[in-house]
């Protein structure tokens, strides 16, 4: 097999990154020209030209390395690893006069030592050169001319050439460092998650009150001024690769230099850093000067509570990485640091955004503010969180904040102990079920006690509390007391379980009043898991989160029956059922909804699960009108999901829809689209629903509601109704 790397031809590449950065890296690589992106743990595979790969090496702020994928193969023994590696024409990639090294990752049942795996790959490469030319390349584990990478996952091996050479987080500007410096690509990721690109575009500045070696400051300036992060690096791994095209690379470097000059010419962002340690500030100055940014970034020795010269007319970002502490004694020392940070943020930075990155959630509770969002990251091997506070407000201004890390336990009354005991009991009962089911979102409490009319859903580490209609026999005062008691109970549980709390009021709306966006413009978005699928949920912006938890078993049922079949999802919402169907092996699908918002959301869910948009299509359409016109008479489906709203009076619809009166026609139209032996699943949340007598007589109908109620919804068997419908 011969290798020809052409400039304009698409090739297979892969980018590695730290855990937690994958989704950000996908967006970045796509912007750099990568296509066919596929996200796995700490890696994003993609295709693109050689120029695209060079762009990724030069411009990626998040990747660790960029790989050219040489070969991918299965092995059943160590000999297979050796032989497949030996068969690669390595002489086409580098000269025996060049040194190389092998990085090997992964183990399996017959190769349980990565060092041994690296040695077998090295032996195969050396033996290949010796057989072909009589020469052998030398191995240099410290500074090789070319790095080879082998990744073993179960029985699959991917052999690659490392185009970076050394990790791309090494930008080339670090001349000195403070204590426990952040990696540059992690700092860039934290800035992106903090919304820095939008903040500087509207003229906002950036301050790091504990700047250390200045990593946040430099990365922020490079993002704001369009400076390529790889511009200062002395070398890249591809420079010793035979397929390296120097003219292409030099052209990209020239373009990056021109963009840097243009960016600095119009630099207007106010970027400042402070630290109590003079040696840290000196390190920051050296690093900033290495980037030639000393005229644009200002640093000074200053304590946190001395940072008081911020103009109230400027709204920017405060971002910092305070010390975490490694021992119990450190908590006593560091607690005042976090308390000072909290005080300064509230006094001097009202209206600003703030981001605190920490590996100590005990200390971060001292910051008496309510985070708008939280993100999980790793700093080396330390699990950390980035807490983002959008629009800092004083304590009096925070009364209506809804997302909280409960600061302390409150006394609860004797009646509320019933609720507390019930929550603990439900959690114990759900533990074994959760271990057997791969999901991190479920219902914990569903109006179990009539006096406490709330529903509590768990989304990862958030307790989502939804207020329902209170019993009519309770006086308004008493009802308010019950809600306050419930809030105290939930806060106590959140502290004990290390969860956060989010309150949401759910109101049934009729007539012209549809479910609308929340009055709060903020959005708390997270990724959750359900079996093999990943879904995006929005916990604040809409009445529903984007994932109907009660439909979990119905989605699983469809996934178990769909292999090799076609699927139609009507009123698809965010297409979660389609995602499960695609992962279950559906040969094709069509998902319909009239909402651009939902279809965009559906598209993101499909992308998250690497589902092909060519095979699994989305269609914006009024489902009722579309069905009535029989626009797809030439196409039929093996399984159809019909899950219409209870009521809709959207302006986009030809007329108002009411499931009670309109379901009959929908079912009849759907049945015409079924293949022989196909199945229609009809679902509704209308509690007073009665199925039409006409369709009862016309089709074979089975009420399968009980079969679709999962364990976490056993307390509310009327949460929905589901029917399995087949043609006679």
The full DSSP string for 362-428 is HHHTTS-S--SEEEEEEETTEEEEEEEESS---GGGGTT--EE---S-----TTHHHHHHHHHHHHH
What pLDDT does 396 receive? 39
Q: Is 41 helix (H, G, I), strand (E, B) or coil?
A: coil
pLDDT digits (tens, 9 = 90+) for 706-720: 999 999 998 888 899
pLDDT at 392: 79
User: Which pLDDT does position 401 carry in this prediction?
Assistant: 36
pLDDT recorded at residue 508 = 41
Number of H helices, E strands in the chain: 19, 30
User: How much of the chain exceeds pLDDT 70, in percent?
Assistant: 88
Residue 156 has pLDDT above 70, yes or no: yes
3-state class of 190 per DSSP?
helix
pLDDT of amino acid 651: 55
Q: What is the mean pLDDT of the chain?
A: 87
pLDDT digits (tens, 9 = 90+) for 298-310: 999 999 888 865 5
- By mean pLDDT, which of 23-32, 53-62, 166-175, 625-634 is the weakest? 625-634
DSSP-assigned letters across all residues of 682-708? EEE--TT----HHHHHHEEEEE-GGGG
Six token digits for residue 467: 């207020």
What three-state secondary structure class fits 437?
coil
Burial of 661 (0-12, 13-18, 19+ CB in 10 A): exposed
d(CA 276, CA 301) in angstroms, rounded, equals 5
Residues sharing a CB contact under 8 Å with residue 722, sequence separation 6 or more, in sequence order:
554, 681, 682, 683, 703, 704, 705, 707, 708
Question: What tokens appear for 4 in the block?
Answer: 């020809």
Q: Do 641 and 568 form a contact (C-beta atoms < 8 A)? A: yes
| Residue-level pLDDT at 623 | 92
User: Do 437 and 443 meet the contact criterion of CB atoms below 8 Å apart?
Assistant: no
**Which pLDDT belongs to residue 211?**
93
* Residue 351: predicted pLDDT: 83
CA-to-CA distance for 688 and 36, rounded, in angstroms? 47
Residue 77: pLDDT over 50: yes
- Is the pLDDT reported for residue 567 higher than 80? yes
State phi, psi for 442 to the nearest 5 degrees: -165, 170
Q: Using one digit for the tens of pLDDT, what is the confidence trace for 234-287?
A: 999 999 999 999 999 999 999 999 999 999 887 667 899 999 999 999 999 999
Whole-number Cα distances in Å, 168 to 23, 66, 93: 18, 9, 22
Phi then psi dihedrals of residue 195, to 5 deg: 85, 20
Residue 150 has pLDDT above 80, yes or no: yes
Instruction: Return d(Cα 631, Cα 611) in angstroms, integer.
Output: 25
Whole-number Cα distances in Å, 188 to 52, 192, 378: 21, 6, 14
User: Which domains, from first to last, does the chain contain?
Assistant: 11-162 (3.30.2130.30), 184-225+267-401 (3.40.50.150), 416-505 (3.30.750.80), 533-727 (3.40.50.150)
Provide mean pLDDT across the span 25-44: 94
Rounded Cα distance, 528 and 547, in Å: 9
Provide the token pair at 314: 């400027």
- pLDDT for the residue numbered 399: 32
> What is the bridge-based pairing of β-strands 637-642 and 566-570?
parallel
Q: Give residue 292's pLDDT band: very low, low, confident or very high (50, 70, 90).
A: very high
Residue 175 or residue 548, greater confidence: 548
- Locate tokens 């979990």: which residue? 552
- For residue 614, CA distances in Å to 30, 368, 559, 587, 610 come to 18, 49, 19, 11, 12
pLDDT of residue 360: 87
560 compared with 715, residue with greater pLDDT: 560
Residues 6+ apart with CB under 8 A from 289: 175
Name the strand (E) or helix (H) holding 677.
strand 674-684
**pLDDT over 60 (residue 313):** no
Q: Read off the pLDDT of each residue in 525-537 and give the average, rounded to a whole number.
A: 93
Task: Return the C-alpha torsion angle 711, 713, 715, 717, nearest 10.
Answer: -110
Task: List all residues 6 or more positions away from 574 whose beta carbon is below 8 Å from its beta carbon.
Answer: 535, 536, 546, 547, 598, 601, 602, 605
Q: Where is mean pLDDT largest: 52-66, 393-407, 471-485, 524-538?
A: 52-66
For 248-381, list the strands marked E by DSSP: 271-275, 297-301, 317-320, 353-358, 373-379
Return the minimum-mean-pLDDT range out of 264-273, 371-380, 396-405. 396-405
Share of the chain above pLDDT 90, in %: 64
Average pLDDT over residues 64-84: 96
Apex CA 402: angle with CA 397 and CA 405, to 5°? 95
pLDDT number for residue 478: 64
* Helix extents (H) in 467-583: 476-497, 552-561, 576-583
């Amino acid at each position: 097999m011969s290798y020809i790397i052409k400039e304009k031809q698409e090739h297979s590449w892969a980018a590695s990154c730290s855990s937690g950065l994958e989704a950000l890296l996908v967006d970045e690589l796509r912007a750099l020209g990568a296509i066919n992106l596929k996200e796995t743990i700490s890696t994003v595979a993609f295709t693109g030209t050689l120029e695209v790969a060079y762009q990724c090496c030069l411009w990626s702020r998040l990747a660790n390395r960029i790989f050219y994928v040489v070969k991918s193969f299965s092995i059943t023994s160590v000999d297979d690893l050796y032989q497949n590696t030996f068969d690669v024409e390595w002489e086409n990639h580098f000269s025996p006069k060049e040194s190389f090294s092998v990085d090997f990752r992964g183990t399996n049942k017959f190769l349980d030592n990565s060092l041994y795996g690296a040695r077998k790959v090295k032996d195969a490469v050396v033996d290949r050169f010796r057989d072909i030319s009589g020469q052998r390349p030398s191995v240099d584990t410290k500074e090789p001319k070319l790095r080879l990478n082998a990744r073993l996952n179960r029985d699959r091996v991917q052999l690659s050439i490392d185009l970076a050479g050394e990790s791309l987080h090494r930008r080339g500007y670090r001349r000195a460092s403070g204590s426990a410096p952040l990696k540059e690509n992690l700092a860039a990721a934290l800035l992106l998650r903090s919304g820095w690109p939008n903040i500087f575009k509207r003229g906002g500045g950036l301050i790091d009150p504990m700047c250390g070696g200045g990593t946040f400051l430099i990365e922020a300036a490079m993002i704001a001024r369009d400076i390529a992060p790889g511009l200062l690096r002395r070398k890249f791994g591809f420079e010793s690769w035979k397929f390296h095209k120097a003219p292409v690379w030099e052209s990209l470097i020239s373009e990056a230099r021109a963009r840097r000059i243009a960016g600095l010419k119009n630099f207007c962002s106010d970027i400042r850093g402070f630290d109590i340690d003079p040696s840290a500030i000196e390190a920051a100055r050296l690093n900033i000067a290495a980037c030639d940014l000393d005229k644009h970034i200002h640093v000074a020795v200053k304590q946190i509570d001395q940072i008081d010269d911020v103009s109230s007319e400027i709204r920017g970002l405060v971002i910092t990485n305070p010390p975490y502490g490694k021992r119990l004694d450190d908590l006593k020392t560091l607690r005042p640091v976090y308390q000072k940070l909290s005080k300064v943020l509230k006094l001097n930075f009202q209206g600003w955004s703030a981001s605190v990155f920490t590996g100590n959630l005990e200390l971060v509770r001292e910051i008496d503010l309510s985070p708008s969002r939280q993100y999980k990251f790793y700093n080396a091997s330390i699990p950390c969180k980035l807490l983002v506070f959008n629009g800092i407000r004083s304590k009096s201004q925070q009364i209506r904040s809804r997302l909280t890390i409960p600061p302390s336990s409150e006394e609860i009354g004797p009646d509320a102990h019933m609720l507390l005991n019930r929550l603990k009991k439900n959690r114990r009962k759900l533990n074994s079920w959760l271990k057997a089911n791969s999901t991190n979102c479920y219902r914990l409490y569903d109006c179990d006690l009539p006096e406490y009319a709330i529903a509590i859903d768990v989304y990862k580490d958030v307790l989502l509390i939804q207020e329902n209609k209170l019993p009519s026999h309770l006086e308004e005062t008493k009802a308010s007391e019950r809600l306050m008691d419930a809030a105290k109970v939930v806060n106590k549980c959140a502290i004990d379980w290390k969860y956060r709390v989010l309150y949401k009021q759910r109101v049934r709306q009729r007539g012209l009043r549809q479910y609308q966006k929340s009055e709060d413009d903020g959005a708390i978005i997270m990724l959750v898991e359900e079996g093999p699928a990943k879904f995006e949920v929005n916990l604040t912006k809409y009445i529903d989160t984007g994932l109907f938890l009660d439909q979990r078993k119905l989605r699983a049922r469809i996934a178990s029956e769909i292999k090799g079949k076609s699927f139609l999802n009507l009123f698809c919402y965010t297409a979660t059922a389609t995602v499960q169907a695609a992962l279950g092996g559906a040969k094709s699908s069509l998902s319909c909804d009239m909402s651009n918002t939902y279809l965009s959301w559906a598209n993101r869910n499909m992308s998250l699960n690497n589902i092909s948009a060519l095979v699994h299509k989305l269609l914006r359409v009024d489902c009722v009108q579309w069905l009535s016109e029989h626009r797809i008479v030439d196409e039929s489906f093996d399984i159809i999901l019909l899950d219409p709203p209870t009521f809709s009076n959207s302006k986009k619809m030809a007329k108002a829809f009411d499931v009670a009166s309109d379901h009959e026609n929908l079912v009849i139209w759907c049945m015409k689209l079924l293949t022989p032996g196909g199945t229609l699943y009809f679902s509704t949340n209308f509690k007073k629903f009665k199925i039409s007598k006409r369709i009862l007589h016309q089709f074979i109908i089975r009420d399968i509601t009980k079969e679709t109620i999962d364990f976490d919804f056993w307390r509310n068997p009327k949460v929905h109704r589901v029917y399995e419908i087949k043609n006679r």
